[in-house]
Amino acid sequence: MIVNSKELFKTARKRDYAYPAPNYVDQLSASSYIAVAEKLNLPVILAYAEAHQKYLSFDEAVEIGLYYAKKAKVPVALHLDHGQTKELIFEAINRGFKSVMIDASSQRFEENVRQTREIVAYAHERGAVVEAEIGHVGGGDEYKDSGNNDNVYTSVEEARRFVELTEVDSLAISIGTAHGAYKGTPVIDFTRLEEVRKAIETPLVLHGGSSSGEYNLSRCATEGISKINIYTDLITAAAKEVETVYPCDYYTLKKALKNGYEKCLEHYYGVFKTFRYRS
């Protein structure tokens, strides 16, 4: 069943856990994520990133996402991740996505606010929710250590002002993670996370969850983050599973990829303490 994430995040914030938000790039990855959610009887944030159009066209992503989200036996928030094109974000909402992200984090604060307010107004009129980002989560390939990366950490005051000005439904913050695979070890600023959580009631989101370490991610999930994005670890796990079976035909290859996706995502449900949803 398709839901928006508003009520899910309220529960997560209250019970101190996070939902995984895996990115799908084809039918196999999407179906694998739904299979895990149904096996565990837990919700999932099924995400498609605008940047992944080179792997899966937007039109195909809409059809795949809607098909699996609608038939799922658990709540599924179909989410457009890192939307940067206004027209594409509007189209995603119009075609059934109940959650969208506007990523204007690389813009000046005032421009980020302006773009986010426009998306929020459009989405709320149509029953969808909006995620935005304040601060900037850089790329893992640029991450050498906590003092040498392209992250711009989220300040408490800007987070407070941003939420007040935009009425955004969830907020992605930068506290030390990065997108993709790391060259170094991420150092998470848990003090900043605590400060931001105390300052605003808006649910918080973490990008760049892959390779951030189980200890770091578990603490994030139990100390204020309601959604953690996962992608690189999933596709890496799928590829490694293929290497263990040496498939000699297409069907064996697909089975190995599916097993890799499912084992990795199920593992993260445990790391994120998502089972508290049922408590």
Provide the annotated active-site residues: 81
The strands making up 44-49's β-sheet, listed across from edge to edge, are 19-22, 225-230, 204-206, 170-173, 129-134, 99-102, 76-83, 44-49
Q: What are phi and psi of 195, to 5 degrees?
A: -65, -45
Q: Cα(23)–Cα(182) distance, rounded to whole angstroms? A: 18
What's the distance, Cα to Cα, between the start and end of the chain in Å? 21
DSSP string, 163-198: HHHH--SEEEE-SS--BS--SS-----HHHHHHHHH
DSSP string, 15-40: HT--EEEEBP-SHHHHHHHHHHHHHH
Q: Summarize the chain as % helix, strand, coil (round to 5).
A: 50, 20, 30
Type of residue at 193: L
Type of residue at 259: N
Q: Cα(103)–Cα(47) distance, rounded to whole angstroms? A: 14
- Give 229: exposed, middle or buried? Use CB within 10 Å, 0-12, 13-18, 19+: buried
At which residue do the structure tokens 């991450």 appear? Answer: 143
